[in-house]
Structure 1
């Protein structure tokens, strides 16, 4: 970790790789959650498998948590180093002339997304750990759908969920394509990659928003 933090190139590559890993996780997470709209039974079956599989629980899950921490620590370090490299505060700076709003505010959208991830872990992961390992309840393969839908009964919680995914969309809009650039993939396929990353940044967060609103209005 110390070597990564001290090397500019290593920081950018590690930031890109951890971001791409989280993008893959987000897609997998969306696919599983979307089954809750299609079939409660299928959602329960998949969730039960993910919640009891040894590889998922004790190998992939710790890697995911490490990836989240690494990505956001590197983001904060990069932002701090970039600001430190500009010691002179100009009286007037037209940032939009050289960069987009998203690129200039990645740290802020990222921090909001990090706060949402903390809430998400508190809302879903912590109760799951308590249910299985602290209170030691007998396993119920049919409980997952009901527990997930119940999270969207509150309009405040649902609204925060929607807002968080709007900000995640803005974060992905710039960050996803930047990950490929940081890894040197700016070649003749760059235009196609950019189109793909923009579509992903819009459609996947919209999908999560649809799931939240679908369950909320079904609960009303």
Structure 2
């Protein structure tokens, strides 16, 4: 048992946890983005509220929320531990360090990008998840569902919140650009035929997910969705 714990506390073990939790969060992002994108139906939030109601009342999804939060915390903690571990392993910087020659800048900035996303997550969870799961939505729509859409519209009337979401989605895009392919590589899923396809899919996934999430607050703030 001790050797099992030591394996996951090692550098390779930490990266393995990052890869597993990263793939889980990538899957969640796709589902979450699809549900949120229902606001683009632009029917006063009726379709979106149906999706939000399903997410809030389905027992399987509610159970998976616990797994999601555990995975998210594990991903954040292990990410921070890796950043601090890498810094401790190289307390004195090289006199000449041409990092760009070996990796992309966002690959070297995962700690910064992750910190921006952490700040965003605190705001986002406070604004929506806590409200929908614990405090209750104060209004209902024409179909009798809790009107989370009205909460979203009200929140995205504040410019700094919209700007925060845009910055966070830019960070998310770069975070995914590195993390998507890295997660597969960490788990040893490398193949000369399929790895290029995974990387290409990861690029498109990162861009589309980030654009869709960023477009939502922008469209609401601009009055395109009501």
Per the TM superposition, whether the score is higher than 0.5 is yes
Q: Write the distance in 2 (CA, Å) between the matches of 1:164 and 1:52.
A: 28
Deviation at 1:97, TM superposition (A): 1.5
Match of residue 186, structure 1, among 190, 193, 205: 190
Q: Is the 8 A contact 2:113 2:175 kept in 1?
A: yes
Q: Which 5+ residue runs of structure 2 have no aligned equivalent?
A: none
Match of residue 53, structure 2, among 48, 52, 61: 48
Aligned match of 1:7: 10
Q: Is the 8 A contact 1:5 1:74 kept in 2?
A: no
Supply the RMSD in Å over aligned alpha carbons. Answer: 2.4
Match of residue 21, structure 2, among 18, 25, 46: 18
Aligned match of 2:83: 79
Aligned match of 1:196: 201
Match of residue 119, structure 2, among 94, 107, 115: 115
Q: Do residues 209 (structure 1) and 214 (structure 2) align?
A: yes
Deviation at 1:8, TM superposition (A): 2.3
Please give the residue correspondences for 1:164-179 in structure 2 after superposition, counting only pairs within 5 Å: 164-179=168-183
Q: Is the 8 A contact 1:35 1:43 kept in 2?
A: yes
Q: Write the distance in 1 (CA, Å) between the matches of 2:18 and 2:7.
A: 10
Point out 4+ residue stretches in structure 1 off by more than 6 angstroms. Answer: 135-139
Deviation at 1:138, TM superposition (A): 9.5
- CA deviation digits over 1:13-38, x for unaligned, max 9? 11101001111111111000000111
Match of residue 110, structure 2, among 99, 106, 109: 106
Q: Is the 8 A contact 1:131 1:137 kept in 2?
A: no
Deviation at 1:129, TM superposition (A): 3.4
Aligned match of 1:96: 100
Q: Which 5+ residue runs of structure 1 have no aligned equivalent?
A: none
Higher share of residues assigned helix: 1
Q: TM-score, normalised by structure 2?
A: 0.88
